[in-house]
Structure 1
Amino acid sequence: MNRLTHARVWSAIDALARRYGLSVSGLAKQAGLDPTAFNKSKRVTSEGRPRWPTTESIAKVLSATGASFDDFTALVTAEPRRRNPAQPIPLIGMTQAGGGGFFDDGGFPVGGGWDQIRFPRVDDDNAYALEVTGDSMAPLYRDGDVLIVSPNAAPRKGDRVVLRTLDGEVMAKVLVRRTAKTVELASLNPAHTNLVFPVDRIDWIARIIWASQ
């Protein structure tokens, strides 16, 4: 019998979200929880120790989806799912990303209006691709470049990230500093000064894990 582990319990929550056509943030929201409750960044403490989902949160998820505890147990004991090599992932233009209907409140892709590309070696089932339009991100990213974004990968200092403001502005920057109240970002163009955004102006922020250049 497979051993109950931290990774398997979280993998079961991921699988349950996929079963009902939801992102993990969408699953949490449907269960009446904070939309970020199941994000990858919430699965470990700031000290790096594993953080387990509470029995209450699991019970709320089962109630919201109609899944049974036996269903959940079967997912816990199943082998973790990996994205197959060269499996299609969603693709959208950077300009389109500023509009509505493509992302949920947690910055996860939703809806059926996406084009697709094939890309290997992505373990995040919520990963998606953004196509750069125009030259606003030059010289690092140019028109037509494709950025692979992982909304489940917690951004850290020095990471390249995509940020969407509540006004619908989408930009690619470098994460300089993140506090409880603000996020400081460096431009990909060294001629531009750093930007500081209040947290309440940010819709979502996600890590860039690969770029075609």
Structure 2
Amino acid sequence: MGRDRFFLSRIFPVMGNRLKFFREKARMTHEQAGEAMGVSRSQFIKLERSERRLNLDYIERAAAAFGVSPADIISDDPAPSDVPLVGYVGAGAEVQPEFEQVPPEGLDQIHIPFPLPGEMIAFQIRGDSMLPVYRDGMVLIVYREQKRPAEWFFGREAVVRTEDGRRFVKTIMRGNPATLYSTNAPPIENAVPVWLGEIFAILPRESLGNGG
């Protein structure tokens, strides 16, 4: 898998898109555009209005239908972005951030072929307690600043740093203190998160310049 390939395997937030622009440019009806993408008329309308999440599959279908690049579908300014890899996150393995020696520019730069909706950082996963979604060596793109309250993360997966300095990718379960749930490992109970990182995307390990 080439580093410059449009490799986002999962996109979490609903991103702005240009489906309406390209549909009208092609003089297509909603039904015609949906047929070109292989979706129903109602599905296309929801995608166009951002009422349904525009994931990688839909982005690539739309790009093929309208004869443009995937980056064109989600941005009118398809300038690439570079995200610094700032460390590791445990999914079974424990990671102590204070022991990491990370230069200001990061351990590596993750190339994203379109603009991002905010300042991001990247972590590489160590461990396999969150299989099948999160595999050892995969890269998580995360918002640098926590902008949502802790309650928003309940029931969601996130990168979490606890007060004792450990960092994990876990499902955050409601409670005070919280419980950090793993798919294939015992939960971590009575955890006190000091930072919760909202996950924007999951990338394969090949997205690293050195292949991971």
TM-score range, shorter chain: 0.3 to 0.5
Q: Is the radius of gyration larger for structure 1 or structure 2?
A: 2
Q: TM-score, normalised by structure 1?
A: 0.45
